[in-house]
Amino acid sequence: MIGLTHYLVISALIFSIGLMGVLRRRNLLMLFFATEVMLNAVNIAFAAISHYYNDLTGQMFAFFIIAIAASEVAVGLGILIVLYKKHGSLDLDDLANMKG
């Protein structure tokens, strides 16, 4: 039977995948996806724990995360669009005007 542990392991795995994506990806869009993956991993964890405790708070948290992730994407994409207009690229390595 699939228990809490399985969910938590899955959640941890997906979180790590998301994290690796954030660390390794060079395209900003992919980076955003990776962060979404991470947040969704958290959602899995919350839902599972919520079920385990038979407590709705976790699911509430998950809903809030979904909402925030959505607005994050909205704002993020907006910024990306103006950036793309200015730079013509979404490659991370092109984005190093400021350093030192």
Partner 1 sequence: METLVYIALFAPFASSLFAALFGMSPKQTFVGIVASLLLFASFCASAMLAFHVWTTGAGIHVTMMDWISAGDLHIPFGFVVDQVSVTMMTVVTLVSTVVHVYSIGYMDHDKSFNRFFSYLSAFVFSMMILVMSDNFAGLFIGWEGVGVCSWLLIGFWYHKEDVSREENPSISPSWAANEAFIMNRIADLGMLIGLFILYWNVGSLQYDVVFAALPDLSGSVLNAAAIALFIGAMGKSAQFPLHTWLTDAMEGPTPVSALIHAATMVTAGVFLVIRANPLFSMTPEVSYFIAALGTFVAFFAASMALVNRDLKRIIAFSTLSQLGYMFAAAGLGAYWIALFHLAAHAFFKALLFLGAGNVMHAMHDELDIFKMGGLKKAMKWTYIYMGVASLALAGIPPFAGFFSKDAIIETAFNEGTLFLWVILVVTAGMTAFYSFRQVFLTFEGDERYKAFGIHPHEMYKYVLIAMSPLAILAVIAGFAQGTFEHFVTKLLPDYHMSEHTHHLSMMLGLIVLAFAVGGIVLAYRKYYKGLKRDKKLENSFTYKLLANQYYIPNLYEAIITKPYAMLSEMMWKDVDMKIVDATVDGIAKFLYKSGDASRKMQTGNLSNYLNWMAVGSVFLLVIAVISAMFV
Partner 2 sequence: MLQPINVSLESLNLITLAPMLIAVAGGLIILILDLINGKLHKSLYVMLTILVLVVDFGATLGLNVNERGFFDVMLIDGVSIVSQLLIIVASIIFTPLALTSKRFHEYSYPEFFALFLFMVAGFQFMVASDNLILIFVGLETASLALYTLIALHNRSNSYEAAVKYFTMGALAAGFFAMGSAVIYGLTGSIELYRVADVLAARMNETGLMIAVFGSAVLLLVAFAFKLSLFPFHTWAPDVYEGASAPLAGYMSVVPKVAAFVVSIRIFGMYIDLGVEWVRIVIIVLAVLTMTLANVMALVQEDVKRMLAYSSISHAGFIIAALALDTTEGTTAIFFYYALFMFTNLGAFTMLWISRHKVRRFDARYDHPYEKFAGMISIRPVGAVIMAIFMLSLAGVPPFSVFWGKIYVMQAAVNSGYVWLAVVMGLNSAIAAYYYLKLVVYMFLKEPVKDVDTVQYNSSKPLMAVVGFATLATVAAIFYVQPLVSYIYYMISASGY
Residues in touch with partner 1 (CB under 8 A): 19, 22-23, 26, 92-93, 95-100
Interacting residues of 52 by C-beta distance below 8 A, sequence separation 6+:
4
Alpha-carbon gap, residue 72 to 70, rounded angstroms:
5
Told to check if 57 binds partner 2 by CB under 8 A, we report yes
Contact yes or no for 29/90 (Cβ under 8 A)? yes
Q: Total residues at the site for partner 2 (CB under 8 A)? A: 43
Contact yes or no for 34/25 (Cβ under 8 A)? yes
CB of 1 to partner 2, least distance (A): 19
Q: How many residues does the chain have?
A: 100
Told to check if 14 binds partner 2 by CB under 8 A, we report no
Q: Helix 57-87 to helix 28-53 angle, to the nearest 10 degrees?
A: 180
Site residues for partner 2 per CB under 8 A: 8, 11, 15, 18-19, 22, 28, 31-32, 35, 38-39, 41-42, 45-46, 49-50, 53, 55, 57-58, 60-61, 64-65, 68, 71-72, 75-76, 78-80, 82-83, 86-87, 95, 97-100
